[in-house]
């Protein structure tokens, strides 16, 4: 089981000084693209901010949040694999980084660094 004390929260481009409490989880949208959704809002979010949480978060914790949100899970195994890859990618980022989610040529989740800090963010 993979775990990390780092996690992503929603990053608001218009108000970069405010840190959100809406944790982000990757899911596949209707076009089979990976997107980030907020666990509280349920909205698709373009950018995430890497933060340090008070406790370790595992793929099972994120899976439980998906279930609680009412989101339909087509494949438990594929979803857990996606969440595990997500946690590994977040572990490689530094706290304060602004990132976006994507896929490589093999369809594997990737996080791309957009800015090394919220104050340095430019669209």
Give the pLDDT score at 107: 78
Pairing of strands 48-58, 44-45: unpaired
pLDDT at 123 over 90: no
Is pTM beyond 0.85? Reply is: yes
Q: 23 with 45: CB under 8 angstroms?
A: no
Q: What is the pLDDT of residues 69-90, one digit of tens each?
A: 888 888 899 999 999 999 999 9
Domain extents in the chain: 3-120
pLDDT band at 108 (very low <50, low <70, confident <90, very high): confident
Give the DSSP H or E segment for 101: strand 98-103
């Amino acid at each position: 089981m993979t775990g990390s004390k780092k996690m992503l929260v929603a990053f608001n481009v218009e108000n970069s000084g405010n840190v959100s409490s809406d944790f982000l989880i990757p899911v596949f949208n209707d076009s089979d693209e990976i997107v980030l959704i907020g666990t509280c809002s349920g909205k698709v979010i373009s950018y995430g901010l890497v933060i340090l949480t008070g406790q370790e978060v595992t793929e099972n914790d994120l899976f439980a949040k998906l279930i609680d949100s009412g989101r339909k899970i087509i494949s438990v195994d594929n979803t857990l694999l996606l969440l595990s890859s997500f946690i590994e990618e977040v572990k490689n980022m530094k706290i304060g980084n602004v990132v976006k989610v994507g896929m490589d040529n093999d369809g594997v989740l990737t996080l791309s660094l957009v800015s090394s800090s919220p104050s340095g963010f430019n669209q």
